[in-house]
Structure 1
Amino acid sequence: MYIIAFADKALHLLVPLALCLTGYLYLYPVFHGCAFPSRSGSTLTAFTETLEQHFPLSYASNVANDTVHVPFRLLVFADPQLEGDSSLPKPEDGLLPKLARHWTKICSEEFTSIPPTVTAVTREVLLQDIPEALQALRKRLDLFGNDYYLGHIYRTLHWWTRPSHVTVLGDLIGSQWVTDGEFGGRGWRFWNRVFGSANRVADELVTLDRPEEEKTFNMDDDSWATKIINVAGNHDIGYAGDISRHRLDRFEREFGKANWDVRFRYPLFNGTESTNTTDQVPSLHLIVLNSLVLDTPAMSEDMQAETYDYLNSVISHRLRPVEDRSSFTLLLTHLPLYKPNGTCVDAPFFDYWGDDDGGGVYRPHGLKEQNHLSEHVSRQGTLEALFGMSGNRDVPAHGKGRPGLILTGHDHEGCDVWHHISTNSTWSQSTNNTDEDRRTSWDAVRWTQMNHSSSHTGIREVTLRSMMGDYGGNAGLLSVWFDFATGEWAYQMQMCGLNVKIWWATHVIDLVVLGLSLFSLVRGILVQHDRSHAGQDKAVSPNTSKAHA
């Protein structure tokens, strides 16, 4: 009776809690006010516009008005790092194989040695084997739950915010050293558990037959909303010193090409034509770049050359002229650009392999690890070449460079910086630089500390915080639009997270409530069954008495 009373009280207390937590979990973007930023910059307006998307008639009226609608809405994730079998004990180290080996050991002992052997085996089973088995079980449960935790973040945000595009900024899995079978297993989990309703960008959508060719799509093409724009990370294919053709090929088969770019044409809504101050239809140039092979020494110089050839083809043939303000360049890559120590959590760091070649799996003295791209690649390959920026104030358009934004991953803590040319730059430490070199050297400061008036040239780089549970299940919501009144591009970005402890607690409480509810239901059925039998016994008892009389 005590157990029954306790179960009833627990159920009455837990049901309201379970309902509240479940409602919060599946509507957490609503409670957090997560929404793609609006043109006005108002948080309330952004939330209202997101809400209106779930009411078609109201939203349709806004879509017809380009002063309200934000056509490019990018849902951004970074570093899910799906782990797998490599983080679990080997099959032969499982509890049952260990027990079988213990039994074989006992059976092989002489009669007089069996008691001490049994004692030693029992101690090992209780103090080592069972705890290790429980730890392995916990790890399996953690891997299983983590997949659905990440999947919940994607599904809930995708449903609520309705992005036009989605990207994952690298480190899709947790190790580049896994076997092909394990790689395929993690890929299956990525597409069936985490991003279950999505698919990768097909090769034919982004493959170019000629360097001067350009793939162009409408920005409001709904088909891109269910495509995942995957960026290659070091845990997917390795760093420069250990990237092989085999690792890159299997990544591209599973997740899409590592280097590609497309251009999205701006939709022309009612009234736009009359206010357009540019000669061309505004467009957004999306560039996906495998930055992991840009620094040296690389294991495969041919693969490195291919990436540089790709980058040069973009710069030479598909970038708009620097003075063309109708084009916005959005760079998606994994490795952050160089930053002075103290700017972000990750300081500049490079490490290299030793004298051996690891059996041919990496290059001796090749690049083993890096926190940032090198200063040279960051400055010449990205800021000056790709974005066309310089310190030449005599030609304002050329000096300022192309409008754009850089999104990176890798640094799990995340960072938001402003790369700019400064006379007091700490980037270049060389003592033989000329005055002109020092005058046009680059620096980086936190976005919140930047001062627009102090720099003629600059671009923002957002290193997205990881979406792993240890980092708060973070996601980025990027809005990009063209202001036809000023003839300039604009963007805003908001972060949105979900505490992993809330996810686990909600599901544990829901399971307890489900168990208590089933217990209460079964108990009610049994009580009702007993009462019906008792009633039947009372109904036949008078006849039985007469028969005896």
Structure 2
Amino acid sequence: MNANIASMHSSMLVLLLVLFTLANIFTSYLYLYPILHNCGFPGQPERHTSNGHIPKQIPPFRLLVLADPQLEGDSSLLNPEYGLFPHLQNLWGDVRAAGSMAERLEVTGAHLRDTFILDILSILQSYRKRLDLVGNDYYLAHIYRTMHWTMFPTHVTVLGDLIGSQWVGDEEFERRGTRYWNRVFQSGNRVEDDRTEGIHIEPLPQDGSWARRVINVPGNHDVGYGGDMTRDKLQRYERVFGKTNWETRFNLPLEMQDGKDQPELKLVLLNSLNLDSPVLEKQLQTDTYDFINEVITYSRPVEDRTSATILLTHLPLHKEAGVCVDGPLFDYHGEEHGGGIREQNHLGYDSSKGILEGVFGMSGDQGAPGKGRGRKGIILTGHDHEGCDVYHHLPDADDTASRAWTAEKWNSSTVEQEASIPGIREITVRSMMGDFGGNAGLLSAWFDPDTREWQFDYATCALGKQHIWWAVHVLDIVTIALLNYVGWSIFQSTPNGPKSTTEKEKTL
């Protein structure tokens, strides 16, 4: 017997050693994956000046970019109004209404069959989905938390579709909002209203004061497309997640020898979901366009290259089919529902042109201020879960009136960025959902004193599918359970371990 026990202990110890080793390896990967994948914010390139060599530096602005978490909720759970076993509720009444004994037996059998096959399976499915929702929340939270403490961002943004449906009721909206702040972004904070009113200007922070603020962009699953958007939906969103249209400006504290203002980096958050028509509530669209006009009016002169704009919005700008995974798509409600936009993949061409030529002031007119090149900047969008990286530009044409904006893949674009060809990069950030690899974007911005312009660079970092997170935690739980079991078994089998009642009686 003792030999059998010793053999069993030996086998369990071997198994425990294997599981313990694997658990340490995979858990280390899970919590150090950004470092192991060599992720990082692109650095400010090294420079050679008359005073010597300046090595690669850490950019003063580092934006952690997350897209489309889409927190789901009660739509996939049991409806409490039906109870746990809805097929048993009418059993007695249906049996009494049956005529013969054979009919009563048939009715009883049908109800019991539905109870066991449908109700019990529905209960199991509901609890599985509830567990899945909790796990998904903590999977997303792991991405945010791990990227934050390994990459040291100065700012954080989520590019819309914070929750999974604009049609949920107010109570469910509040529950998802609570999960968003208490689970996924537990250490994050909503941007304060006093920083989103009017034009807020402050030095570019290096003290971490913005690192815990989460800049939330409204998505179609948060407030609806233009044909669904109401003031009530906007108000409840803004109460939980922050304003939908605002800008803030960060000044870089440099002494400019020519007496010009300090370099300025503008962060513009835009609700692009009601730019295209028709919309359900016209005034909400007017409010958005009024905001765009304010951004344009109070910007620095278009030829001032010491200023740059980072535009954060949900809907990508217009592109031809084949440039990104999502091609152009517009779908509308029927006339009985007002005929507004029900779904769209991109902004319309005119809306996109308005952003490029309005917010960024690009025209391609050599006689215009700044030779038509427009303002320096970059555009970050969500919505297309696969992600995309393009360069919007205005090609030369013999007939100036026929010039039209077009987009090409950024990594394969052959367009030379000359004064006569204005253009700007748009990055549609891949979703952070598990089905898309748990992606995170890393945007760096710095002011180049040689060119006297802001420069941008972008990188990505992905954890992997959510199954990795689940598998590692299940492995950890099994390992801890086996460790406790083996430890207790060895303790009981040792001479000094606890004795049974019979052994104690024999001793006495």
TM-score higher than 0.5: yes
**Aligned mate of 1:169, from 156, 159, 182:** 159
Residue number in structure 2 paired with 1:448: 411
Q: Is the 8 A contact 1:329 1:405 kept in 2?
A: yes
Matched, 1:373 2:363: no
- After TM superposition, the structure 1 stretch with the greater mean CA deviation from structure 2, 461-470 or 129-138, is 129-138
Aligned-pair distance for 1:132?
2.5
* Aligned AA (2:478): V
**Aligned mate of 2:307, from 327, 330, 333:** 327
Change (3 A) 1:220 1:391: same
Q: Is the 8 A contact 1:346 1:411 kept in 2?
A: yes
Residue number in structure 1 paired with 2:400: 436
Q: Is the 8 A contact 2:203 2:252 kept in 1?
A: no
Residue number in structure 2 paired with 1:352: 332
**Aligned mate of 1:301, from 282, 285, 289:** 282
Matched, 1:219 2:202: no
Partner of 2:499, secondary structure, is: helix
Aligned-pair distance for 1:525?
4.2
Change (3 A) 1:106 1:153: farther
Q: Give unpaired runs (5+ residues) of structure 2.
A: 48-53
- After TM superposition, the structure 1 stretch with the greater mean CA deviation from structure 2, 80-89 or 523-532, is 523-532
Rounded to whole Å, the distance in 2 between the matches of 1:226 and 1:107 is 64
In the TM superposition, what are the counterparts of 1:534-549 in structure 2 within 5 Å? none
In the TM superposition, what are the counterparts of 1:331-346 in structure 2 within 5 Å? 331-346=311-326
Residue number in structure 2 paired with 1:238: 224
Residue number in structure 2 paired with 1:504: 470
Partner of 2:380, secondary structure, is: strand
CA deviation digits over 1:413-444, x for unaligned, max 9?
111000001247xxxxxxxxx93221x31110
Change (3 A) 1:278 1:330: farther
Matched, 1:21 2:11: no
- After TM superposition, the structure 1 stretch with the greater mean CA deviation from structure 2, 4-13 or 157-166, is 4-13
Matched, 1:140 2:114: no
In the TM superposition, what are the counterparts of 1:31-180 in structure 2 within 5 Å? 31-40=36-45, 68-93=57-82, 95-98=84-87, 113=103, 115-180=105-170
Aligned-pair distance for 1:13?
2.1
Residue number in structure 1 paired with 2:272: 291
TM-score normalised according to structure 2 size: 0.90
CA deviation digits over 1:283-327, x for unaligned, max 9?
10110011111111111111111111111111112x111110110
In the TM superposition, what are the counterparts of 1:509-520 in structure 2 within 5 Å? 509-520=475-486
Rounded to whole Å, the distance in 1 between the matches of 2:258 and 2:97 is 90
Residue number in structure 1 paired with 2:453: 488
Matched, 1:262 2:248: yes
TM-score normalised according to structure 1 size: 0.83
Change (3 A) 1:37 1:118: same
Rounded to whole Å, the distance in 1 between the matches of 2:110 and 2:505 is 65
Change (3 A) 1:98 1:488: same
* Aligned AA (1:339): K
Identity of aligned residues (%): 49
Q: Is the 8 A contact 1:71 1:267 kept in 2?
A: no
Partner of 2:319, secondary structure, is: coil
Partner of 2:390, secondary structure, is: strand
Q: Give unpaired runs (5+ residues) of structure 1.
A: 43-64, 358-363, 425-433, 545-549
Partner of 1:192, secondary structure, is: helix
Aligned-pair distance for 1:390?
1.1
**Aligned mate of 2:426, from 456, 461, 469:** 461
Change (3 A) 1:483 1:340: same
Q: Is the 8 A contact 2:67 2:382 kept in 1?
A: yes
CA RMSD in angstroms comes to: 2.8
CA deviation digits over 1:433-490, x for unaligned, max 9?
x93221x311100001112427621000000011111111111001100011221211
Rounded to whole Å, the distance in 2 between the matches of 1:454 and 1:191 is 42
The structure whose residues are more often helix, as a share, is: 1
